[in-house]
Structures are given as C-alpha cells and as structure tokens.
Amino acid sequence: MRSIFFWRIIVILVVTVLLASLLMTGGYMYFSRDAYTAIKLNEMVPEAEAISQLYIEHAQNKVTDEAFLRMIEKLMLASNTTGIIIDKNTNEIYNSIVFSEFREQNYSSVIQKDLQGALEGHSTRKTDILLTDANAALSVCLPIRYEGEILGGVYLLKSPTEIKSTTNRLNNSLVLAMAIVLPVMLLLSTFGARQVTEPLRKMGEVALQMSQGDFKVRADETEIGEVGLLARALNNLCDTLSQMIQQLSAEKSQLKAIMASFSEGVAATDSEGFLTHYNPALMRMFGSVRAGSRSELISDEAVWAAFDEVYTTREPQIMHYPMQNDRMIWITLSPILTDAEKECIGVVGLFKDMTEVENQERSRKEYIQNISHELRTPLTAMRGLLEPLSDGMVTQEEDRQRYYKIMMREVLRLSRLITDMMQLSRLQAGTEYMEFAEVDIVEVLEDIHINYQKECAQRGINLELDAPPMPHVITDPDRVEQVIIILLSNAMRYTPEGGTITIRAENMARVNISVSDTGTGIDPKDLEHIFERFYTVDKSRKEGTTGLGLSIAQHIIEKLNEKIIVQSVQGEGSCFTFTLKKYVSNAIALGPAHENWDGIPTDQEFLQLMNEEIVQDEQDAFYEQLPPDEGKKKPRKKPK
C-alpha cells in the first residue's frame, strides 16, 4: 500500500514542484539581464543631461574650469561611468575613456559618428559596444542644447561589470529563495500525501507509541490488505518484545539524560565506525540539525579520520580543531576497551569549546603588547632627548628649550595615556560612579558649542549646533559632556580644513545626541573595531590620540544604560549617535540607573528605535512630563 500510494504521490508532487521551480528560475535568469540592462541604459540618460547642464553653466562662466572638471570627475566616479565631452567645434573638453578596452571595432569612428550625430541634434543609445573581455558595454550620446542652440555633445560609456554582478546577485537571491521555498513545498506535499494515506499514518502513530515504550496500544487488525497484515505483525512484535524494550528504554533514558547534562560535546563510534552516541551540546557546537550519520553530525572527515586512527592504534589522541569565527575546539579521543579481553569496541570523543579561554589569553597578550607599545613610544622619545642633554651635546639655550618642550609634550602624552587607561579600567571593572540628575541637554550642547567654536575656527572647521528645545533628560551631565567632547575631538582630528562638524539633538523615543562630520569617514572594515581600546583608523597614530577615547565613550554610555552607534561613508564623513532617557517627575524613584532595555538591541533595531517619532498620550502614560524650565539642575563643571 505504501509503495503504491504514498511514494507515487510523493514522487509526482516532488517532480512537479522541481520542474516548475527550474522553469521559473531559468526564465528569470534568461530575461533578467536584458531588463536590467535596459534600466541601466535609461539611468545613463539623466547622468548625461546633468553633465550637459554643468557644461552650460561652465560655458556661462558660472563654474570655473577646475570646479567643472572636478564635478564631472566625481559624477563619473559616483556612477561608475566614463565618457567624452566636446564643444560645438568638436574640441574635447573632457575625456576619461580608456580606448584600449574596445575590441574588433574602430573606436574612433564609433565615437566620432555618435558625437557628430549629437552635434546635429541626434541622441543615440547602444548596448553593443564590445570590450576586450568580449562583454558588451552601454553607451549614451546626447547633444548639449541651450536656448535652441547646440553647444556640444556628451558621450557616456558604462562597463557591464556592474550589470553582471547585480544580475548575478539577483539570480543568487532567486536560487536561495527557491532553496528555501522548495523544502516548504515538499513538506506541504508530504502532508497532502499523508492525508491520502490516512491508514498508514495511523499505523505510524501506533508504531511510534510502541517504540516509546507504550505497549498497551494495539493496531487495528480489521483493516484489509497489507495494512491489516502490518497491524497483526506489530501486535505480535509488541507482545514478544515488551519486556525487553522496556528494559532497553530505561537504560537509554538514563544514558540520554547523562549525556544531555554535559556542557561539552560527546560522540561515540562503534567498531565499524558508525555513530552510536552524541549529545545536543555537540549538535549546537557544529550547527547540526540532524545526525542520521556521522557526516551529518560533523561534515569534516578529518575529525572522523582521527576517530578511525585511534580505533586502529588504540592510543588516545588530542587535537585542536579551528572553526569559523575564530572558534577553537579541543577534541580528546579515547579508545573504548572491554574489561576482559581488552578488545577495542569503539572510540569516544570529548569536544570542548576553548574559544573563550583562548580569546582571554589572546586579549591579555594584546593588551600587554599595546600598553608596552604605547608606553615605549614617549619613553623612547624622551630618552633620545635626554641623552644629548645629559652629555652636554646641546649647547644652545634655544635648542635646550626646544628639547624641554618636546619632552614636556611627551610627558603630557604619557600622562594622558595612563589617565585614560585607569579610567577605562575603572569603567570595565564597574567601579566608576555615575551620578544621575535632571539635565537640560540643550544647555549642555550650547556650552560645548561655545567653548569649542574658537578651536574649530582655528582649524578652519565650521562647528554647527542643531538643538531645538528638548525635554530634560535623566543622566550624569559630566559624563555626557565627556562623551560629547571625546566625539567632538575625534571629529576635529579627521575633518579637513573647510569641513563641517554638526552637534545635533533630536526628540525621538529617547533624546538622540549625534556628532557628525564631513571628514574622511571610516573604512567599513574598521567600523566593527572602532570602539576597541588602542584601535585607531590611522595606524600611524596621530599626535594627541591614545586610541582609548571612543572605548571610554562606549563604556560610559553603557554604564548610563544607553546605546551608542556609528554610521560612516568613507570619503563623506561619520556620525556618532547615542541616546539619553527623558526625565519624568518620578524618574529617580523608578531607578533609572537600573532600567534595562528589553535585551540589548542590535544596531539595526537601535536605528529603528531611534527613528520612531513620539506618539502623544503614549509616552510615559501615567507619569507627568516636566516642561524644560522646571526641575532642579545639577551644577556642571565647565570644560577647559
């Protein structure tokens, strides 16, 4: 019955689903590239029109030659496009096309023909410009018109690499979606087949209850055909093996409970190399969903080869097994010997995750190395200056004073380093005290803006403040001021002359404070390490930085039970944002220092939370919101 109904239905459904999926995937992959190519070709037209408008402004002397070429270059770079701009006399104003990329065509004649057509008022779009790698590039050529007169032509060329990579990602996403959908469809198909084969499902339930030790159940022997035969066989098997199965079930339950209680992973194989025992800890360690065989439990055959070697040699073995995300597993393998004949009947392996231990050891070594490096730098500089002074080699008073100033600067740098290290250690140890009070955050920001505006002006940086009236917050004002100064100093260090730093306050679900700049930005590979101690984006370590400021800022914010994140685009600037809880009349009684998020949110969840607008009558529903001019203010120390 099972072979006739169940498997036939399953095979038909599986073949149908797979065939439909393959046809849909193949059709999408076949037509998606042409569609995306047409989209990209249409996107090139506004780029050409923008370049035309820039050229018109340039021709009217509204834009200098240098600014015109720089804007064109940035526009070309942003859109990953190359091109040529000519005037009405066919003189080249700009040319960034690498002619060696063309293949089997006279590029000069192709471009000149299109540009000549542009001077005559014709627009061209092509997708058949061949490159040396046999890929067809896209080209757009438009005339530059102003008040009915043609001033020149624009010719743009886009490489197909972007199109190919994008379509490949879309295709991969489709394949991944199919890979996710197919198992769901198969499960639904299986469910439908089982509905058709309902008698067999009932027999499976009876067999399952028997295998779990419930031998009081009986299958329905009144069913006709093969189902009835199977029911009678199961009932006879239940009567014969009831006592034996109960005994084995008890022993198995005991062994399973013991292995499940282990925090380390355990696996055992028999004399044939087959997997006999394993525990959930091992499955979690290797991310296994099922373990029907040892390769499904651990896919790396090197581990099982070590099992086989221990079985052959009967000698214990210890191996270090590296895994993804810098995890390290210690595997201890031992042979299983019988008491009487000392015969090896299998191998047992203990898997212990030593990642945390090794990370702690590595962190300790790196910390010592970083401290040694940071202390050695100023000490070496001072020694190099003290030796000629002590030997009387520096005779000029002016030189001696210069040496003293340099040594004083190095001593101050060493003092800052030690102070930052001590403060960071206290924050990490949890001994740094936070004094919470009602704070007018706008006043804090205005004070900082006034105090640092002159320093920014001396550096040629524009310091802006965007802080409309805000609700008061409950926090430690000195610590918040310290965090803002750290972020502001960091922004000044990496913002070039002529740049802008903006201190902004926003009234969202909490009060969001951000310090953004138009500086060099942060490389994406550096973003995940930006808050680590001694980590600097500039490996040469600019003077005045110890690499501890952002780490101190993060620990202060976490100590205040808030959240801080960084967003950055390399070449455009960075933005550091942290939150502050709003003050309510009984906030101190509620204990704001112990208030927790419902789990520390991820950066993505935090961004969504920060951007949530305030809904009237929902925030602090039964607490009174104080206006900004009420409540006592804690005196603050003015920054020097």
Higher-pLDDT residue of 601, 576? 576
Q: Which of 352, 357, 295 is nearest to 321 (CA)?
A: 352
What are the percentages of helix, strand and coil residues in the chain, rounded to 5? 50, 20, 30
pLDDT at 591 > cutoff 60? no
Higher-pLDDT residue of 59, 201? 59
Predicted local confidence at residue 408, as pLDDT: 82
Q: Under 8 Å CB-to-CB from 149, ≥6 apart: which residues?
A: none
Q: How confident is the model at residue 27 (pLDDT cuts 50, 70, 90)?
A: confident
pLDDT at 594 > cutoff 60? no
The whole-angstrom separation of Cα 112 and Cα 108 is 6
CA distances from 207 to 4, 211, 227 (A): 20, 6, 13
Residues 132 and 103: beta-carbon distance below 8 Å:
yes
Residue pLDDT, tens place only, 486-514: 898 888 888 898 999 999 999 988 999 99
Residue pLDDT, tens place only, 326-362: 788 888 999 988 877 678 888 999 998 887 777 666 7
Overall average pLDDT of the 167-178 stretch: 79
Long-range contacts for 318-325 (Cβ within 8 Å, ≥24 apart)? 323/286
pLDDT at 557 > cutoff 80? yes
What's this model's pTM, rounded to 2 decimal places?
Answer: 0.39
In this structure, the number of other CB atoms found within 10 A of the CB of residue 172 comes to 10
Task: Provide the pairing of β-strand 500-507 with 462-466.
Answer: parallel
Mean pLDDT of the chain: 76
Q: Highest mean pLDDT: which of 50-64, 204-218, 364-378?
A: 50-64
Q: Highest mean pLDDT: which of 230-234, 277-281, 324-328, 432-436?
A: 277-281
pLDDT at 624 > cutoff 50? no
Predicted local confidence at residue 341, as pLDDT: 66
Q: How confident is the model at residue 638 (pLDDT cuts 50, 70, 90)?
A: very low
The whole-angstrom separation of Cα 38 and Cα 614 is 43
pLDDT at 104 > cutoff 70? no
Share of the chain above pLDDT 90, in %: 7
Q: How confident is the model at residue 103 (pLDDT cuts 50, 70, 90)?
A: very low
Residue pLDDT, tens place only, 125-166: 887 776 655 567 788 888 988 888 888 889 888 877 777 777
Looking up tokens 């960075």, which residue turns up? 574
Q: Which of 233, 226, 178 is nearest to 199 (CA)?
A: 226
Higher-pLDDT residue of 347, 637? 347
In single-letter form, the type of residue at position 366 comes to E
Predicted local confidence at residue 577, as pLDDT: 93
Predicted local confidence at residue 578, as pLDDT: 92
Higher-pLDDT residue of 122, 164? 122
Alpha helices by DSSP H, 276-348: 280-286, 294-297, 301-313
Predicted local confidence at residue 610, as pLDDT: 53
Indicate the burial class of 341 (C-beta count within 10 angstroms; 0-12, 13-18, 19 or more): exposed
Determine which of 26-30, 127-131, 432-436, 535-539 has the lowest per-residue pLDDT on average. 535-539
Running DSSP on this structure, what letter comes out for residue 212?
A: T
pLDDT at 425 > cutoff 70? no
Higher-pLDDT residue of 523, 592? 523
Residues 363 and 355: beta-carbon distance below 8 Å:
no
User: Coil, strand, or helix at residue 21?
Assistant: helix
Determine which of 23-32, 77-86, 301-310 has the lowest per-residue pLDDT on average. 23-32
Residues 229 and 221: beta-carbon distance below 8 Å:
no
